[in-house]
Amino acid sequence: MVNTTIKTTKSQEIFAAAQNLMPGGVSSPVRAFKSVGGQPIVFDRVQGAYIWDVDGNRYIDYVGTWGPAICGHAHPEVISALHAALEKGTSFGAPCALENVLAEMVIDAIPSIEMVRFVNSGTEACMAVLRLMRAFTGREKVIKFEGCYHGHADMFLVKAGSGVATLGLPDSPGVPKSVTSNTLTAPYNDLEAVKALFAENPNEIAGVILEPVVGNAGFIPPDAGFLEGLREITHEYGALLVFDEVMTGFRIAYGGAQEKFGVTPDLTTLGKIIGGGLPVGAYGGRRDIMEMVAPAGPVYQAGTLSGNPLAMTAGIKTLELLQKPGTYEYLDKITKKLSDGLLQIASECGHEACGGQISGMFGFFFTGGKVHNYEDAKKSDTVKFGRFHRGMLERGVYLAPSQFEAGFTAIAHTDEDIEQTLAAAREVMSSL
């Protein structure tokens, strides 16, 4: 399995051509490997815990298409459900019974969600939820946290973590100051900073939005009391609490981080897993708030492909698979083995490192101590991470190509996959 001389000639040819056709050769920035160096590999197919590149190399995958592949790629039951749905057509642009099925599953699962609206991406869900927060409260300011990513809409591109951090852009050109002037930011896990913002802007803050477990600045869990504290402060000031669970929904637990931590927000955004690998997002929450969304209410939001029958089908089947008893226990067990193993190996090889996992989400930083926020995360040795990443890739392990991204396991990962990954990590770490 250890093969440090993989050939990636075809990947290189295809990527070289792509750079003339698409900006940076990719359809989404982090894919270009800018922050780890070297060339990205070009995928040919995915199955279970593995991906194959166009040169025929196989990799154990810990990106899982950035989260959706929690059951493993191309799960046979998802694929066969999609085949059956495909026979009935690809898009209706009209109500479809599958929407009810997925809506009920989401409402049953996620404690805060009494009604839901389907969209096509996490970005769209976050844009829409912000409009709704503002409409419901009649206030314009919103608090987000440094290092949290809520999609690429203008008003969220302030200290927005991974993709943006990776490019070294604190903001993006093209985002007007007037649009972000109502976006207030605080360090993650810092309740005092949030209190200060509310005290300075009483009656002006519509709400607080956050990743209840951060994945877009690397993996950063909430400190004890942080989520509870935000719930209290937002209540006190008549503001809304919004959990962006695009990544954590159905991953941290079936009911998301809100179930795991027992803190119920007013609104929640979802994406990734609920589309089972097809493009989907959703937002939902308290009925009185959601009833403001058009056409029930005046807050406009629409989508040609929203509620798409193929996406609904993949989502429904994926959630059904996740409902099997033992799913999250298994994810927790193998991911803990991976995370503990990586930290142990790093320490044996003399590298300062920290990290952790919850269920099938994990993270690893080349820095000592503990990472509580984005400032801490930025202390990580990204050059070392780049070399680690490359070494793992050469040994058939595909990790997220940035120090500032969480990793994901799937129920398709076996004990043996984890052991092979750790064996590769030992070789690479001892040579860094």
Ligand X SMILES: *Cc1c(COP(=O)(O)O)cnc(C)c1O
One of 122, 221, 229, 265 touching ligand X (CB under 6 A): 122
Q: Does 117 bind ligand X (CB under 6 A)?
A: no
One of 75, 134, 141, 150 touching ligand X (CB under 6 A): 150
CA nearest neighbour of 365 among 194, 154, 147:
147
Kindly tell me which of 66 and 237 has the beta carbon lying closer to ligand X.
66
Burial 370-397 (b: 16+ CB within 10 A, else e): ebbbbebbbebbbebbbbbbbbbbbbbb
SS (H, E, C) 229-298: HHHHHHHHCCCEEEEECCCCECCCECCHHHHHHCCCCCEEEECHHHHCCCCCEEEEECHHHHCCECCCCC
One of 246, 289, 293, 319 touching ligand X (CB under 6 A): 246
Catalytically annotated residue among 144, 159, 272, 317? 272
Q: Does 215 bind ligand X (CB under 6 A)?
A: yes
Active site residue 244: yes
Residues near 240 by beta carbon (within 8 Å), at least 6 away in sequence? 133, 136, 137, 206, 207, 208, 234, 265, 266, 267, 289
Residues 259-278 that bind ligand X (CB under 6 A): 271
CA nearest neighbour of 218 among 335, 334, 361, 97:
361
Straight-line distance from the first to the last Cα atom of the chain, in angstroms, rounded to the nearest whole number: 20
- Residue 21 Rama label (left phi>0; alpha psi -120 to 50; beta): alpha
Active site residue 376: no
Is-contact 239 216, C-beta < 8 A?
A: no
**What is the C-alpha separation between 262 and 259, in angstroms, rounded?**
5
Kindly tell me which of 229 and 271 has the beta carbon lying closer to ligand X.
271
Segment near ligand X (CB under 6 A), from 77-85, 94-102, 239-247, 385-393? Answer: 239-247
Catalytically annotated residue among 62, 149, 237, 283? 149
One of 57, 185, 189, 216 touching ligand X (CB under 6 A): 216
Q: Does 211 bind ligand X (CB under 6 A)?
A: yes
Q: How far is the CB of 211 from ligand X (least distance, A)?
A: 5
Catalytically annotated residue among 53, 61, 244, 417? 244
Segment near ligand X (CB under 6 A), from 149-157, 249-257, 340-348, 351-359? Answer: 149-157
Beta-bridge partners for 293: 299
Kindly tell me which of 146 and 244 has the beta carbon lying closer to ligand X.
244
Q: How far is the CB of 400 from ligand X (least distance, A)?
A: 12
Q: Does 385 bind ligand X (CB under 6 A)?
A: no
Active site residue 381: no
Sketch the per residue contact string, 171 through 210, with ligand X: x for CB under 6 A, - otherwise: ----------------------------------------
Q: How far is the CB of 118 from ligand X (least distance, A)?
A: 13
Kindly tell me which of 149 and 254 has the beta carbon lying closer to ligand X.
149
**What is the C-alpha separation between 63 and 43, in angstroms, rounded?**
13
Q: Does 257 bind ligand X (CB under 6 A)?
A: no
Segment near ligand X (CB under 6 A), from 75-83, 115-123, 219-227, 366-374? Answer: 115-123
Q: How far is the CB of 392 from ligand X (least distance, A)?
A: 22
CA nearest neighbour of 89 among 278, 277, 308:
308
Beta-bridge partners for 336: none
**What is the C-alpha separation between 353 and 342, in angstroms, rounded?**
9
Residue type for position 44: D
Question: Cα-flanking dihedrals φ and ψ of residue 115, to 5°?
Answer: -145, 150
Residues labelled catalytic: 149, 244, 272
| Chain residues in the site for ligand X (CB under 6 A) | 121-123, 126, 149-151, 211, 215-216, 244, 246-247, 271, 281
